Amino acid sequence: NEWEKSVRFFKKSEELAKRLSSQYREVDAIVCQVVAYYYMEGGGDVYKNEVEAAIKRIKKSRPYSNLLGKLEIMRANFSYERYLKDGNEEDLRNAVERYVIACDHMYKYSRISRDRFYGTIRILVKRLSDLTRDQLPSPDFLESLRDIWNYDEHELKVCQKYSDKFDEIIDFTLKRLGSDHKDNALEAYAKGLEKKIQSGINDGKEALRFVPMYANMLLHLETDFGTTDDQAKAYHLLADTYAVNDNVFEVLQNNLIALEKIRETGNDLLKSKILIRLGTTSYRVGKYAKTIEHYRRADIKKNVRTFKEKNKEGVDQAISHFHEAKEILEKIWQHSEGKNERKQIASVQAHLHFRLAEHHVVTGKAFKEVADQFEQAIEKAEFGDDNWRRLDAIQSQIAYHYFSDPLEYEASDVEKLRNQFHYLNKKQYFPVLLARLEITDGNIAYDRIASDPADASVIEKAFDHYINATRYKAQYSDKHFYEAVGTLIDRIADLPQESAKILHQKVYPRLRKKIPTGLIAEDAYKLVEQFLYITGEIL
């Protein structure tokens, strides 16, 4: 058994870490032993004594919140598996208690990395959701679980919003248990979950991290009571929540399931949406988008040239998905009736043209072919009242002009696009798109520094845009903010020595008032300022 081998290796690792006085590695090795015991045949029932001995050794060491959280998740898994086997409600209570304690540990660790905390809450939701309705305990027992969140040593009890999340999980489980069909009340509840998911994706910040939780709830609700079409929509929506949280495997897996289900129902509009998403996932469009957003002209060209070579199969697969989606959309457009239906179709067509434009860039199509796809995306998005797609296409077209041959277009064309973007953004504000435009404009100014490294006005213009980008990204999510800060640091690193000194001594003091507020931003900008001092004064 490979897991038995892993236990032996982890024990050796524990002994070595102890000799080296590396407490973190020692505890990590013990926790990994518990994980291995869980996956061995018989799990916690057979290896109960070994698990308890491992836990005693951990308690003698320094408490590391992330490792203790990982340990509690495994102990919860042991109890959860016992409940599935024997149906003893106390095992389920013990499992929920341990998942909540794991949330507590990960919350303490979340001051370093919030992903662990949100991920643990999602595990709790998944465990309760994965229970079939026949496996669910009694309503009274479920109600009694609400008290678990407020156990005496629980740090989260002071944070009401997380208590509300736990209550939502229990409410959801009670609704699954108390219904035998999808009545109006359950339909309204499902619509409410959809609304939370969409608003979380649009609004960003902490809501963004909870959208996979709500999407899992919706999926299990539709699995219990919905039609095959409802289930396909739920899988596709779940994939979208993983897309905004950069989990490519889950995006692909859930869209493939959705596609299989939709083949049974004949929902062509949803099928085209899924095909577009599968196409973008298959050629790793996320990596392409990060290249366009965070690199400068020469690096973008270099990376785009090698992109197809490194992922030829995915690029070829993507175009087949896009062509199939295009044929479907043209067919349903011809048979559509009513303006609202055509608006929905146009919104999906806008997405398709946008992805085709990106694909044309990767495959080295001519400037006009790429520009035509962007323009069609803008036109379709306008008809479909899809402001996000419209603004995204405008911003992306400006970025494309930036790294294209200047002889291919007129400067006035770019200025028209920029004016159009700012006009529309006043009507509906999207900070992420605004940040991307700021980075592109920063790059345009930055490229002029090489010709006159002592021109403080050009340096100020470039870094004004980069700092603005960090401020806009901070409005959406910490992850996006850190990416923008990384771009800012990269630009400082690439400055000529003379320019770095001017930035440090003259320009940055004027721009500092524009940096985002909050503890995370303050900590990040301390690093920026230290790096700026090193590059401007020491190197």
Q: What is the pLDDT of residue 312?
A: 76
- Tell me the per-residue pLDDT of 82-137, one tens digit each, with 9 for 90 and over: 899 988 999 999 999 899 888 888 887 765 556 778 888 888 888 998 899 889 99
pLDDT at position 228 = 93
pLDDT of 400 reads 94
Average pLDDT of span 192-212: 86
pLDDT at residue 157 in the model: 53
Distance CA 210, CA 245 (A): 10
Cβ neighbours, 10 Å, residue 114: 18
Query: What pLDDT score does 389 carry?
Result: 94
Mean pLDDT of 340-353: 96
Provide CB contacts within 8 A for 459, sequence distance 6+. Answer: 449, 495, 499, 502, 503, 507
Is 295 a residue whose pLDDT tops 60?
Answer: yes
Max Cα–Cα distance, the chain, nearest Å: 76
3-class secondary structure, 477: coil
> CB atoms < 10 A from the CB of 32, how many?
22
Nearest residue to 326 (alpha-carbon basis) of 390, 273, 364: 273
Whether 533 maps to a domain, the answer reads yes
Report pLDDT digits (tens) over 335-346.
998 899 999 999
On whether the CB atoms of residues 194 and 219 are closer than 8 A, the answer is: no
Distance CA 514, CA 388 (A): 26
User: Token digits for 142?
Assistant: 């479920």
pLDDT, residue 158, reads 46
Task: Kindly report the backbone phi and psi dihedral angles of residue 386, in degrees, each rounded to the nearest multiple of 5, phi listed first.
Answer: -100, 90
Which tokens in the block code for residue 358? Answer: 């990106």
**Once rounded to an integer, what is the mean pLDDT over residues 187-195?**
94
pLDDT of residue 191: 94
Q: Please state, in angstroms and rounded to a whole number, the distance separating the CA atoms of residues 425 and 416.
A: 14
Cα–Cα separations (whole angstroms), residue 496 to 380, 447, 489, 529: 44, 12, 14, 17
Q: 373 Cβ partners below 8 Å, 6+ apart?
A: 353, 354, 356, 357, 360
Residue 519 confidence (pLDDT):
76
Question: Residue 415, exposed/middle/buried by CB under 10 A (0-12, 13-18, 19+)?
Answer: exposed
Asked if residue 117 belongs to a domain, the reply is no
Domain residues for the domain of 492 are 430-539
- Does any domain span residue 438? yes
Distance between CA atoms of 352 and 339, rounded to whole angstroms?
20
Total structural domains within the chain: 1
CA–CA dist 174, 137 (Å, integer) = 10
Examine residue 490 and state whether it is found in any structural domain, yes or no: yes
pLDDT in tens, 462-506: 999 999 999 999 998 888 899 999 999 999 999 999 999 999 999
Contact status, residue 228 vs residue 263, Cβ threshold 8 Å: no
Band the pLDDT of 242: cuts 50, 70, 90. confident
CB 353 within 8 A of CB 376: yes
Q: What is the pLDDT of residue 283?
A: 63
To the nearest 10°, the Cα dihedral for 257, 258, 264, 266?
A: -160
| Distance separating alpha carbons of residues 129 and 142, to the nearest angstrom | 13
Phi, psi of 21 (to 5 degrees): 60, 35
Q: What is the pLDDT of residue 159?
A: 56
Does position 517 have pLDDT exceeding 60, yes or no? yes
Which structure tokens are listed for 338?
């009513």
pLDDT in tens, 394-424: 999 999 999 998 888 899 999 999 999 999 9
In a domain? residue 457: yes
506 within domain boundaries: yes
- Flag whether 75 is in a domain: no
| Model confidence at 58: pLDDT above 70 | yes
Q: Would the CA dihedral through 37, 39, 41, 44 be positive or negative?
A: positive
Query: What sign does the CA torsion over 26, 27, 28, 29 have?
Result: positive
Range from 15-29, 48-62, 133-147, 431-445 carrying the lowest mean pLDDT: 48-62
Q: 153 falls in which pLDDT band (50, 70, 90)?
A: low
505 lies in some domain: yes
At residue 286, the pLDDT reads 63
Res 274 pLDDT > 60: yes
| Percentage with pLDDT > 70 across the chain | 95
pLDDT of amino acid 440: 95
